[in-house]
Amino acid sequence: MKEIVFAGSGVAIVTPFTENGVDFEALSELCEFQIANGTDAIVVAGTTGEASTMPDEEHVSVIRHVVETVARRVPVIAGTGSNDTAHGVHLSQMAQKAGADALLSCTPYYNKASQRGLIQHFSAYAAAVDLPIILYNVPSRTNMNINPETYYELSKIENIVGTKECNMGQVADVVSLCGDELIQYTGEDGMVLPCLSYGGKGVISVMANVIPAETHEMVASYLAGNVARATELQIWAVPLIKVLFSDVNPIPVKAALNLCGFNVGPCRLPLCDMDPISLQRLAQVLESYSLLA
């Protein structure tokens, strides 16, 4: 069986920005909030962390800061995906030097790749670092899919240990082919229980930015055999999940954190603020969960 980087709720943490760069004090506050509320891993500089807008030096500085703040209390998983294999390899090596415990690597975007190209792309990452790698399959953003047969070939590589899967319709096929040689995490907050039912180990979550304790409890309950409690929490979270994905992620979750009293600033362009009506709806849902500051 491959190494399990974490079991439970891994938060895809936002990156707080000011007009002058990263707000590292606010980032530390977010990390402490997550750890205090039971989050099982912190995923930094991913999609929700707006890594695509960060120059390499800033990207690595954010990873390093989270590593130093967390101080080994939970695993830190660094996003290092790129549509340029050489660039992604470089970021991965820098993340390893910064102290990350594992890497999260998305499929190439825009230029895309064939399935053979995907195998070569991720193989290059794996050969360049000693860290465990979690693949990230998110067809809605990259317009491509890691096919089950490709997962099978990649699962033969020792330090490719898991996947953050957003194409939930293929999880059964992937599990059938790969077994416990590829740990399943879902990237869909609304589909945590289906992933766990196939033997998955958790979620890399957006909603955990706002409700870390409940997201942790949902996964922990299921893994402990309390399916009824896990189901109750999954259903309870549905209105919040809907509003957190009512605009392009991470626009709503950053707005939500600001409304909850965390000063995480705005998103960077091309992501813009929510329109007033949508923001009002977000505030109403947060209030219904007693989350407003």
Q: Which residues are catalytic?
A: 136, 164
What's the Cα-to-Cα distance from 205 to each of 38, 119, 187, 259, rounded to whole Å? 13, 26, 6, 19
Does residue 54 contact residue 44 with C-beta atoms inside 8 Å?
no
Q: Which residues contact 196 (CB under 8 A, 6 or more apart)?
A: 202, 219, 222, 223, 230
Does residue 5 contact residue 77 with C-beta atoms inside 8 Å?
yes
Q: How far apart are the first and last CA of the chain?
A: 44
Nearest to 14 by CA among 59, 34, 44: 44
Does residue 164 contact residue 185 with C-beta atoms inside 8 Å?
yes
For 267-285, b/e burial (b = at least 16 CB within 10 A) is beeebeebeeebbebbbeb
Does residue 108 contact residue 141 with C-beta atoms inside 8 Å?
no
Phi and psi (nearest 5°) for 23?
-90, 90
Phi and psi (nearest 5°) for 263?
-90, 85
1 residue type, one letter: M
Rounded to whole angstroms, how far apart are CA atoms 30 and 13? Answer: 8
Nearest to 141 by CA among 167, 170, 174: 167
